[in-house]
Amino acid sequence: MSVTRLVGSHHGAGPALVVLRQLDREGWSPVVEMLVGEREVVTVDLPGFGDSPPLPDGRTPTVQALAAEVARWFTATGLTRPPVAGNSLGAAVALELARMGVVGSAVALSPIGLWTGPEAAYALGSLRIARRTAQTLGHRTARVAGSPLGRTLAFWQLVARPRRLTAEAADGALRNLARSPGFEATRRAVRRYRLTGFTPGVPVTIAWGTRDYLTPRHQAHRAARLLPAASHVRLPGCGHSPMTDDPGRIAALLLSASRG
């Protein structure tokens, strides 16, 4: 897997924080910039996304398989029960890692798996259309990203205030969406994924934006019923990728939840 370690001047303040990324690589950037002033941060592209190749040996990229691969990577690199955070698919992987007991804490931002069949079809179908559009644009993604209207049309389901995205971040997100080799196999594999309840042995935080149009916030109520022992946080004015809408609040949430 593609991994980047970022060490700030105060990296001794707590254990290294692992951020699991997929299509949301650009969205995490402002949060990570804030975190490195306080902690060591390890960013990981999940298999099949960003700069990481798909799972080896043709394995199906279910949420559980992705979590198992991350857990193997922990062992191989000597990371012992690190705190983890993720958004969407990465959030579901973080929760499965907490279920496995291989992390010190988990923060899940708008996790998938709290959906019904039609809700899953809508969310994953929307992402498929967005990917095809990004692939069709090719080198013209910069033109779309450079326009406030273009950013709104491209990211309204993911970000509450897409006009605030920088042109560079929007262009990078579109390019990542177009090129991620594991997108289609993962999209098919996770459609049937449903988060099941468990009693976490570590601190778990689930946060949901009030303006999430991809996995609407009523799914947060299902999360609260399934994981009553977790901390459930409301993110006013944030969309499905709250890192973009309120990076300061997300950075503070991750630091608070991952102290150890």
Backbone angles phi, psi at 87, to 5 degrees: -125, 135
Cα dihedral angle (30, 253, 69, 227), rounded to 10 degrees? -140
Q: Is 83 helix (H, G, I), strand (E, B) or coil?
A: strand
225/8: higher pLDDT: 225
What pLDDT digit, counting tens, does each position of 44-63 carry? Answer: 999 999 889 999 888 999 99
Q: What is the mean pLDDT of residues 92-119?
A: 97
Determine the pLDDT at residue 10. Answer: 53
Determine the pLDDT at residue 240. Answer: 96
pTM for the predicted model, two decimal places: 0.94
How confident is the prediction for the chain on average, in pLDDT? 92
Is residue 233 within 8 Å of residue 206, measured between CB atoms?
A: yes
Q: What is the mean pLDDT of residues 135-158?
A: 91
d(CA 70, CA 90): 11
Is residue 48 within 8 Å of residue 69, measured between CB atoms?
A: no
130/5: higher pLDDT: 130
Q: Which residues contact 105 (CB under 8 A, 6 or more apart)?
A: 83, 84, 98, 202, 203, 204, 205, 257, 258, 260
d(CA 208, CA 89): 14
d(CA 173, CA 177): 6
Determine the pLDDT at residue 7. Answer: 64
What pLDDT digit, counting tens, does each position of 200-233 carry? Answer: 999 999 999 999 999 999 999 999 999 999 999 9
- Given a cut of 70, whether residue 8 has pLDDT beyond it is no
- Given a cut of 60, whether residue 11 has pLDDT beyond it is no
What is the dihedral sign for C-alpha 220, 71, 245, 202? Answer: positive
Q: Which CATH number fits domain 3-116+193-257: 3.40.50.1820, 3.40.50.720, 2.60.40.1180, 3.60.15.10?
A: 3.40.50.1820
- Given a cut of 80, whether residue 152 has pLDDT beyond it is yes
Instruction: Name the nearest CA neighbour of 202 among 113, 83, 85.
Output: 83
- Given a cut of 80, whether residue 34 has pLDDT beyond it is yes
DSSP-assigned states of every residue in 88-135: THHHHHHHHHHHHT-SSEEEEES-SSS--HHHHHHHHHHHHHHHHHHH
Is residue 83 within 8 Å of residue 103, measured between CB atoms?
A: yes
Q: What is the mean pLDDT of residues 104-129?
A: 97
Q: Where are the domains positioned within the chain? A: 3-116+193-257, 120-179
